[in-house]
Amino acid sequence: MTETSKIHVLIADDHAIVREGLKQILADTEDIVVAGEAENGFGAIALARENAHYPHCQVMLLDISMPDRNGIDVLKQLRKELPKLAVLMLSMHREDQYAIRALKTGASGYLNKQSAPAELVDAIRQVAAGKKYISPSLAQELANHINEDHEAPLHEKLSDREYQTMTMIASGKTVTDIAGELALSVKTISMYRARLLQKMRLRHNAEITHYAIKNKLVD
């Protein structure tokens, strides 16, 4: 198999040990080669741009939680600039927390980092072929999502921290402000924000504020 006929993969994850682990798994495959790596969200976008003129760079493995920019936001940017790039989202979080939102945003698939190496390889091959990758557990979650009770207020699905993050954002505070006030990392608050956006089917802070005011959740 020639170099250009292989599936070229870009890896974006802020943990070096995770990147090395992924590279080791893919090193044992004949049809996949790692073409580059990035350690944060902005680096992921730059890496994708650098490789955009190579038609064989087909898949990016993108961590959903990174220090500088949430993976969902990175995914949105990639969809705008490089719609043909297949993006396979990786996360330590359960699929029910992020997968549906990631797929709606344009991800080609979603995989938990604890998945077996064979599942990762299969997922890469599938999205490289232009298909979506959905694990059996995610398929069940999608089915459950369709049958949800839509009459209950959306904010009732939030955890205490997610609800707190929502109200603070609606009050005009930034993620950095919230992190400082709650003595948590910006990454953690960004994770809460991503979760509440997914659960409430909102897209950005303006919609969070509008929802909170409409439902009288803030003064």
Residue type, 57: C
Q: Cβ–Cβ contacts within 10 Å for residue 120, how many?
A: 22
* Tens of pLDDT, residue by residue, the chain (219 residues): 666 678 999 999 999 999 999 999 999 899 999 999 999 999 999 999 999 887 676 899 999 888 777 888 899 999 999 999 999 999 887 665 677 778 888 999 999 888 889 999 999 999 999 999 988 777 876 676 665 555 567 888 888 889 999 999 999 999 999 999 888 999 999 999 999 999 999 999 999 999 999 888 887
How would you classify residue 106: left for phi > 0, otherwise alpha for psi between -120 and 50, otherwise beta?
A: left
Residue 133 in domain: yes
Supply the CATH number for residue 54's domain. Answer: 3.40.50.2300
Residues 123 and 174 in one domain: no
Global pTM? 0.67
Residue 42, CA distances (Å) to 12, 111, 124, 164, 193 in order = 10, 21, 22, 28, 19
What gap in Å lies between CA 185 and CA 95, rounded to an integer?
22
Supply the CATH number for residue 178's domain. Answer: 1.10.10.10
List the domain range (segments joined by +) for residue 207. Answer: 154-214
